[in-house]
């Protein structure tokens, strides 16, 4: 299990736009139509990464709780499916159903979106405000597979709460740790 940290895109960065295939609805969807009224979480995940598998229950729980408060959740998988067929779009749809995702699970076939976000690992979390300016990036919480720390979503939850309550978001943010994005060779 490779332990790759987030690249930590600079705070204030505007969310790069995209239009990608949603494996759940089987429609092309873009940031403009998916963004939330109060904020938007963009997360880079995949099907097979043990770090993502570990946090899936908390991702689903947070999405259900915060979507009601006006924060949209968008999941994107950018892995090379030729070398990692377990991350193929038809299997993404199965994972979304099995994990009770209440958000789109988009497929970034060209990996251009991952590059635009400077995404490095799965999971990699980004929280944008109503103007799509980056206010948080980094880890979900301190829990990792096998470290004995319970999932809480604390870091992302604190950032979302501060955003909703119009409080300053702590700029001391820890990078996420996970499997590296599986880049297409060439």
Structure token pair of residue 112: 């251009």
pTM above 0.75, yes or no: yes
Q: Which residues pair with 74 in a beta bridge?
A: 42
Compute CA 139 distance to the chain's CA centroid, rounded to the nearest angstrom: 10
Provide the pairing of β-strand 177-180 with 105-107: unpaired
Cβ contacts of 82 within 8 Å, gap of 6 or more: 184
Structure-block tokens of residue 104: 């789109």
* pLDDT in single tens digits along all 186 residues of the chain: 568 888 989 999 999 999 999 999 999 999 999 999 999 999 999 999 999 999 999 999 999 999 999 999 999 999 999 999 999 999 999 999 999 999 999 999 999 999 999 999 999 999 999 999 999 999 999 999 999 999 999 999 999 999 999 999 998 899 999 999 999 986
Run of H or E including 44: strand 39-44
pLDDT of residue 1: 52
Q: Tokens for 26?
A: 């089987």
Of 72, 76, 91, 96, nearest in space to 18 by CA: 76
């Amino acid at each position: 299990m490779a332990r790759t940290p987030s690249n930590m895109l600079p705070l204030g960065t505007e969310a790069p736009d995209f239009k990608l295939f949603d494996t759940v609805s089987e429609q092309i969807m873009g940031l403009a139509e998916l963004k939330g009224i109060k904020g938007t979480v963009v997360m880079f995940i995949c099907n097979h990464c043990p770090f993502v598998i570990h946090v899936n229950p908390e991702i689903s729980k947070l999405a259900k709780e915060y979507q009601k408060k006006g924060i949209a959740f968008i999941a994107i998988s950018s892995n090379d499916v030729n070398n990692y067929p377990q991350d193929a779009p038809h299997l993404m749809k199965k994972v979304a159903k099995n994990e009770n995702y209440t958000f789109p699970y988009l497929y970034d076939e060209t990996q251009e979106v991952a590059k635009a976000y400077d995404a490095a690992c799965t999971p990699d979390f980004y929280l944008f405000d109503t103007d799509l300016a980056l206010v948080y990036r980094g880890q979900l919480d301190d829990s990792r597979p096998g470290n004995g720390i319970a999932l809480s979503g604390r870091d992302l939850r604190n950032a979302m709460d501060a955003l909703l309550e119009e409080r300053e978001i702590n700029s001391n943010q820890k990078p996420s740790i996970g499997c590296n994005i599986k880049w297409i060779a060439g």
